[in-house]
A = this chain, B = another copy of it.
Amino acid sequence: MSKITFLGAGSTIFVKNVLGDTMLTTALQGFELALYDIDPVRLKESETLLTHLRDSIGSTCTITTYLDRKEALRGAKFVINAIQVGGYDPCTITDFEVPKKYGLRQTIADTIGIGGIFRNLRTIPVMLDFASDMQEVCPDAWFLNYTNPMAVLTNAMNTIGGIKTVGLCHSVQVCVPHLFDALGMDHNGVESKIAGINHMAWLLEVKKDGVDLYPEIKRRAAEKQKEKHYDMVRFELMNRFGYYVTESSEHNAEYHPYFIKRNYPELIERYNIPLDEYPRRCIEQIKHWEERRDAILARETVQHTRSHEYASSIMEAMVTNQPYKIGGNVMNTGLITNLPNEACVEVPCLVDASGVTPTYVGDLPPQLAALNRTNINTQLLTLEAAKTLKKEHIYHAALLDPHTSAELSIDDIVNLCDDLIEAHGDWLPKFS
């Protein structure tokens, strides 16, 4: 019997999506679905929901739960990771509130930016503990990472952890449908090519029957941009840099020095930027779950239709050897020729029994490579900090961050880092 281990299985709704997909997949019937979380209550809740779901579907998968991580991982063929270290309270609160004292405003803080840096620093040690356990009990398993910040964590698992890891984000597969829906265009039969880095990958080609659809997209986008809507940052990026980016406007607002600027307070309104969006979502999600939990867990018949998450299709392709194509996060072994080789990139990958094999992309248009490089700078320095445990590299990561460095002085950036280190307390390893 084969085993799929889910780390962070207390995220009940996400577990339901990914393992519900799995239960609906013929090739994965009979697998053990091993749930692991540090929170026994939430683990139990996930078990309950999944059991109802399994019985509703009629899947032959078995569901087990573990509070011992190594036992959860032992013998796994696939490991799916969706942990969050430090949670909304206290860590997300810290990520947003401490920078605010310096006037530094954020929207999501899960990728780069000062919040993304610290999210990485507290998550990497936990991930490397996973890697260490896996080296012992399931060294050949594939690690499907859903945890953010995607690029740095996937890089750490591959290069430090030595585990076969692919980073997965649904921003790739929803990019074209969401764009086309927003513009009133039909995306059926549309072919696209996407590459770059996670959350800043580029829609390099978008065609139907060989015809480039960008002129029509840009025409409609310019029209739509005349009034307020929820994707104004991305449309502006496309307007200025020529290509649409995979991640949402609220994310991209903080990846660049262009949108949240103290010198230009009117831009928040102009680009409709939802400051503090992520903590707001967290609060709502927690509230929503608390209100509906009992009802959800009581229902014995649970519906599920296969979602757009890649995980079950990846496992299916590896088991059946039927080729499947994903946009995956992998090490840049010369794939995108004008981005650093040390970076983790998001490129089309072929999945089959040989695993996840990335494809060759070549050069990005120079302006897109340049934008990616500004973010890779912070990513690589964050990784350096995690590897060396030297505080100076945390400062470097923050000093190179496009938004942070545009807004704050060197002294404020360094002090902010020190404050965040202190506020994190034991959520961070000791830096010297």
Contacts and interface: CB of A to CB of B under 8 A. Distances in A.
Interface of A: 140, 189, 191, 193, 205, 207, 210, 236, 240-242, 256-258, 261-264, 267, 321, 323-325, 333-335, 337-338, 340, 342, 348-350, 352-354, 357-360, 362, 366-367, 369-371, 373-374, 377-378, 380-381, 384, 392-393, 395-396, 399-400, 402, 405-410, 414
Secondary structure at the A interface, as helix, strand, loop or mixed, is mixed
A376 to B, nearest CB: 8
Contacts of A396: 240-241, 366-367, 370
A350 B323 contact: yes
B370 A400 contact: yes
Contacts of A193: 354
User: Which among A349, A366, A393 has the highest number of chain B CB atoms within 10 Å?
Assistant: A366
Contacts of A369: 340
A19 B371 CA distance: 44
A396 to B, nearest CB: 4
Given A263-B407, A359-B359, A373-B373, 12 more contacts: A191-B321, A205-B354, A240-B410, A241-B396, A257-B405, A264-B409, A267-B409, A323-B325, A360-B360, A366-B384, A370-B381, A374-B374
Contact of A257 (B191, B256, B340, B406): B406
Contact of A358 (B261, B360, B410): B360
22 contacts: A191-B321, A207-B353, A256-B405, A257-B405, A257-B406, A258-B405, A263-B408, A263-B409, A264-B409, A323-B325, A323-B350, A325-B350, A334-B337, A348-B350, A357-B360, A358-B359, A359-B359, A367-B384, A367-B399, A370-B381, A373-B377, A406-B406
- Nearest 3 CB-CB pairs, A to B? A191-B353, A406-B406, A334-B334
A249 to B, nearest CB: 14
Contact of A263 (B263, B384, B399): B263
A16 to B, nearest CB: 28
User: Which among A241, A262, A377, A393 has the highest number of chain B CB atoms within 10 Å?
Assistant: A377
Copies of the protein in its oligomer: 4
A329 to B, nearest CB: 14
B348 A362 contact: no
B333 A362 contact: yes
A333 B399 CA distance: 29
B323 A261 contact: no
A373 to B, nearest CB: 5
Contacts of A207: 353
A411 to B, nearest CB: 9
B366 A381 contact: yes
Nearest to A400: B370
A381 B374 CA distance: 14
A257 B236 CA distance: 22
Contact of A348 (B333, B342, B357): B357
B409 A261 contact: yes
A334 B337 CA distance: 10
Nearest to A404: B257
